[in-house]
């Protein structure tokens, strides 16, 4: 049984976190430097953006956790440290500064940055912020760390769950940032996960790499794959369960908990898309295979016209069918059905590839809610998939038209 609890990345035994304003961002009311720390070395795994333009922190992190170990995560917001000549040097310096302040090796530090691309990152504010950052470490510090990694996010994204592995009570928590530039391949924006489960580094990587295919790789806000996308997980083993070294009942229990946390964070990221007013969930059923279901679901949530229709509360189902048609998936259009569902009700708008009579007033009531399900039936099999996105609003253009200024 999985139970949601409080604590975020500090819910698991042995983890502390903090977040402070160090001066990277001009507003002193905004935290811009975050820290997550395990009191003991932990096994580590990560997935990264497939964008060929990658932030320097990703290169450094990949090298640091090549041995499957990490003990701390440091992340700044306000500057992505991407496309900078000294980017690697700055990221390594961040690790070294933290290693001077905590009993960790510089090589065991995960480094992350988020913000504007192509602007030099000054190390001086970070260096000055290390002392207050480490001094603020607390078992109650998840919310502060969560706030410090936000950029255009309007809401904190954190969760923790409690579950059992091999008769031992275990915990897994996470924080995330992501609001724009989200169309992930291998990760999405920044997600930091922590757990006290004892699991080998190879199995931890297998779990993370497997789960993101159905979670973080199934969300899209604007079709842009970021340069700094990264999901990392630290597992310090303090729960005391027998180490998971192979698939089996214990691994499945861990995977279920991981999926629970990741789905929650996916929905939170999609719902907080830049300028978004609605969370969109496209649930595809009746597909010939899972790949077809995924392709169709992502095509629908990526459709700018569908997203705009949802913002306008217009049941323009033709846009959904259009997105299905150009998805590249092999389907029989004459078997496709589409419905819209929310807490305001459910309305069928398309059956067997053709429109059916429906009440526009009833449809408007359904689409007026904050969370909209777009239900697509392909009528060709038993495979299913779900993707998450958001509506496209005037505010999205405003935010991104003024992002640097």
| DSSP element (H, E) containing 169 | strand 168-177
Residue with tokens 């007013």: 277
Find the catalytic residue in 49, 114, 134, 188.
Answer: 188
Buried b (16+ CB within 10 A) or exposed e, 231-270: bbbbbbbbbebeebeeeeebbebbbebbbbbbbbbbbbbb
Phi/psi at 301 (5° precision): -70, -15
49: annotated active-site residue: no
DSSP result, 333-350: GGG-EEEEEETTEEEEEE
CB 176 within 8 A of CB 190: yes
Q: With DSSP H G I counted as helix, E B as strand and the rest as coil, what are the percentages for the chain, rounded to 5?
A: 35, 30, 35
Contact call for residues 228 and 152 (beta carbons, < 8 A): no
Do residues 72 and 98 make contact, with C-beta atoms less than 8 angstroms apart? yes
Measured CA to CA, the distance from residue 388 to residue 153 in angstroms comes to: 17
Between the alpha carbon of residue 311 and those of residues 229, 280, 284, 304, the distances in Å are 27, 10, 21, 11
Q: What backbone torsions phi and psi does residue 203 show, to the nearest 5 degrees?
A: -70, -30
Q: DSSP string spanning 184-217?
A: -SS--SEEEEEE---B-HHHHHHHHHHHTTTTGG
Classify residue 2 as exposed, middle or buried by CB count within 10 Å of its CB (0-12, 13-18, 19+): middle
Residue 34: φ, ψ to 5°: -120, 150
How many C-beta neighbours within 10 Å does residue 219 have?
A: 28
Residues 6+ apart with CB under 8 A from 341: 347, 366, 372, 373, 375
| Location of structure tokens 């999205």 | 396
Interacting residues of 103 by C-beta distance below 8 A, sequence separation 6+: none
| Residues with catalytic roles | 188
């Amino acid at each position: 049984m999985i139970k949601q609890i409080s604590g975020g990345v500090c819910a698991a035994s042995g983890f502390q976190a903090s977040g402070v304003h160090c001066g990277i961002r001009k507003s002193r009311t905004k935290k811009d430097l975050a820290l997550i720390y395990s009191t003991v070395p932990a096994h580590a795994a990560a997935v990264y953006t497939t964008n060929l333009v990658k932030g320097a922190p990703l290169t450094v992190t990949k090298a640091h956790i090549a041995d499957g170990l990490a003990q701390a995560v440091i992340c700044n917001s306000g500057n992505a440290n991407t496309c900078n000549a000294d980017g690697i040097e700055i990221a390594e310096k961040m690790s070294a500064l933290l290693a001077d302040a905590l009993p960790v090796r510089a090589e065991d530090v995960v480094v992350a940055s988020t913000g504007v691309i192509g602007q030099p990152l000054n190390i001086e504010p970070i260096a000055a912020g290390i002392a207050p950052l480490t001094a603020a470490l607390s078992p109650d510090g998840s919310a502060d760390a969560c706030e410090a990694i936000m950029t255009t996010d309007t809401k904190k994204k954190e969760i923790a769950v409690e579950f059992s592995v091999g008769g031992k009570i275990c915990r897994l928590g996470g924080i995330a940032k992501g609001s724009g530039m989200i169309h992930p391949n291998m990760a999405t924006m920044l997600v930091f996960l922590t757990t006290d489960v004892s699991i080998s580094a190879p199995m931890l990587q297998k779990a993370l790499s497997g789960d993101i295919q159905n979670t973080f790789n199934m969300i899209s806000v604007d079709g842009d794959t970021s340069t700094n996308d990264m999901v990392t997980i630290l597992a310090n083993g303090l729960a005391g369960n027998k180490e998971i070294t192979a698939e089996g009942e214990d691994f499945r229990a861990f995977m279920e908990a991981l999926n629970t946390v990741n789905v929650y964070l996916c929905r939170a990221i999609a719902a907080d898309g830049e300028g978004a007013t609605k969370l969109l969930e496209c649930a595809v059923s009746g597909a010939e295979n899972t790949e077809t279901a995924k392709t169709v679901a992502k095509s629908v949530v990526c459709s700018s016209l569908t997203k705009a229709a949802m913002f306008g509360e217009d049941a323009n189902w033709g846009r959904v069918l259009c997105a299905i048609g150009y998805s590249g998936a092999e389907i029989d259009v004459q078997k496709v059905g589409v419905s819209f569902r929310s807490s305001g009700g459910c309305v069928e708008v398309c059956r067997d590839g053709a429109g059916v009579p429906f009440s526009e007033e009833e449809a408007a009531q359904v689409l007026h809610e904050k969370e909209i399900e777009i239900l697509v039936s392909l009528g060709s099999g038993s495979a299913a998939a779900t993707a998450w996105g958001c509506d496209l609003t005037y505010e999205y253009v405003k935010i991104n038209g003024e992002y640097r200024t």
